[in-house]
Structure formats: C-alpha cells, structure tokens
Amino acid sequence: MTHVLAAAAALACSLGAIGATPLEAQRASGQRDSGQRDSAQRGIAIDARMAEDLGLAVGARVRISSKPGEPGDSAFIAAIYERKADPAEVARREYRVRLHLDQLQQLMELDDRVDRFAVGTRDGQSIDSALARINHVAFGFRAHKSRDVAVQSSRTFRVVERFHFAIGIITVVASAVFLLCLLLLSVEERKRDIAALRLMGISRATVVRAIVIEAAIVSLIGSVIGAGIGWIASLIVNAHFQELYRTPLVFALLTPQIFAFATGLSLVLGIGSGAAAGWRLVKSSPLALMGR
C-alpha cells in the first residue's frame, strides 16, 4: 500500500471542490485494485466516514475532478484515515480527501500555488526574528506565529466557554435560591422543636451550629446524588453526540476537579443558607416560636 503523506502545505479542499459525483459514480462500478494499476496513478487518502458511506476500501480506484461532470484523474485509495477529535470540525458533515500537493495543484490548475505553508525554525528560539524577516520581504502574504493562529482559531471555544460560564451563573443563582428556600422552610417547620431546645437551655449558637451541620450534610448528599445524575447524563450526552457527529470527541466530562468544585460550591451555598435560616429562627423568643 502506498503510504500517502499529507503535505504540510496541502491545499485545504472539500469534496465539493474536487468533485463528488465522479467518486460516487466510481463507487457504483466498485473496482478494486487488481495489480494493473497505471504507473502514473497516484494514491489518495480518504476519511473513514467517507469510506463507510460510499463503501470504499483501500485499493479501490476512483476518479477525481475539480469540476463535476469532467473526467478528471484516476487515483487509487491508498489510505483511510480517522479524523482527529477536533471540536472545530465536529459539526461539519463534509467528506475529506487528502492528495499529494502537486496532484491537487494539477487537478485544480493552480500551477505553483498554496493556501498556506508551515515553517519550522531551526532552534525554536528565533521565531520573532524569522517572522520579521519573512514579513519584511513578504509580497501578498503574511507570516503569523502558530500560537497566534491557534488563539484566533480557538475563538469559537472561548465564546462557548463564556456562554457556559454565563449559563452556570444563572444555574447557580437558581440553585442557591432553591436551596435557601428549602432550608428556610425545613427549619421553620421545626420551630417548635427548636423552641423546646432553647427552653431547655441550649444556646443560640449551638442551635445554629446544629442547623448548619444538617444543611452541610444535606448539601453533601445532594452533591453526591447530583454527581451521580451528572455522570449518567454525561454518558448519555456523549453516546448521543458521538453517534450524531460520528466522532470520538468527548462532549461532557465529569472530572474529580469538577466534582470537587460542585461539591464545594454546594457546601458553601448549603452552609450559608443553613446559617441564614437558623439565625433567622433563633432570633425569635422560644415562646413566640411555640406560638404562645
């Protein structure tokens, strides 16, 4: 099998750009490599999703063209590759084909043109000076640091991250109000018990401490149950989206750090709510709490 290397400077192209119809037509004829391959015939690599959908296998011969309906060039499938778990591409349903650079240039009648090329500096230290020198002589193009390109291309995820953060704030506010409301009610429901404790001589601080401890335990148990529900939900979410987008990308992840953060936040909210509810109750006299 010819090993197809994706040239670093390969022109990015979609299937539409190189003609989907001829490939599909070739699939119908279903020819496999039979050892009679033309010496000029080149190998191409296709993504696994495309191979699966069109029933193509390594060795199959296809015709590729830059315009639908034209004969184009003959090529054989030398490799089938799995796409990276790249979130930037996850929602794109298009197929990907990788060709040798000169093969694509010839097919697209682009002579000696590329969309971009990567440059590696010898020692990794002289990036700025290399950048300055390239841009000084550049005509019609610009050089950028890989880091800057990465920052630019990760904008989507930064936006999604900010959106998740905002949704998280709303959810935490809703949870905090819910928790405070529940604790207030559960404490108020037991005001006679608390009045009895106070009449027995138990101090206000002890009563509040007891309520706070109870709130903390409730929060902790709630967090563990919530984490369990979250973990099951993450399994469902991953299974659903991995199937939907046909990607190994992990969409929802419950890490120990996330669990620790959620539990910590829940404890803080629970203790705060418990303290507020307890303190509100012990401020009243025991007899008033008894309804006398």
Partner 1 sequence: MRLMMAWATLRRHPARTTLAVLGIAVAAALLLDMVMLATGMSESFRSLLLTRGYQLRVSPKGTLPFDSEATIDGAGAIVRALRANPDIKAVSPTLGSTLTIDRSRIPSAFTLGLERDVQGDYTIEAGSDITHADSGTTAPLPRIVVSQTFLTRAGHAIGDTITISSGLDAQLRTSARSSRVVIGGMGRFIYVPGETPVIALDLALLRQLLGPSYRDRMSLAMAESRRGDSASVEAVRAWIATTQPRVTAISTETAIRQVEERLSYFRQLAFVLGAISLGIGFLLVATLVTLSVNERRGEIAVLRAIGTQRIGVLQQVFLEGLLLTSAGIVGGLALGLVTAQWLNGILRDFPGLPSAFDFFVWSPAAGWRALALLLTSGTLAGLLPAWRAASIPIARALREEAIG
Tokens found for residue 235: 């399994």
Q: Does residue 155 touch partner 1 according to CB under 8 A?
A: yes
Query: Interaction with partner 1 in 91-150: which residues (CB under 8 A)?
Result: 91-94, 109, 138-142
Scanning 26-34, 35-43, 176-184, 220-228 for contacts with partner 1 by CB under 8 A, the matching segment is 176-184
List Cβ neighbours of 241 (8 Å cut-off, separation of 6 or more). 247, 249, 251
Q: Give me the sheet containing 61-64, strands edge to edge.
A: 61-64, 73-81, 42-47, 97-98
Applying CB under 8 A, the site for partner 1 has a residue count of 48
Token pair in block for residue 46: 């296709």
Which residues, in sequence order, are bridge partners of residue 76?
Answer: 43, 61
Tokens at 137, concatenated: 């002589």
Considering the complex, state which of residue 58 and residue 131 has its C-beta at the smaller distance from partner 1: 131
Beta strands 73-81 and 42-47, pairing class = parallel
Among 8, 85, 119, 159, interactor with partner 1 by CB under 8 A: 159
Interface pattern 60-99 for partner 1 (x via CB under 8 A): -------xxx---------------------xxxx-----
**Torsion sign, CA atoms 118, 119, 122, 124:** negative
- Of 17, 216, 262, 267, which lies in the binding site for partner 1, with binding defined by CB under 8 A? 17
Binding-site member from 163, 260, 264, 288 for partner 1 (CB under 8 A)? 163
Pairing of strands 73-81, 97-98: unpaired
Residue at token pair 């029933």: 55
Q: Which of 171, 206, 284, 285 binds partner 1 (CB under 8 A)?
A: 171
Listed residue (283, 103, 282, 126) closest to 194, CA to CA: 282
Is position 275 an interface residue for partner 1 (rule: CB under 8 A)? no
Residues in contact with partner 1 by the rule CB under 8 A: 13-17, 19-21, 67-69, 91-94, 109, 138-142, 155-156, 159, 162-163, 166-167, 170-171, 173-174, 177-178, 180-182, 184-186, 188-189, 192, 241, 244, 280, 290-291
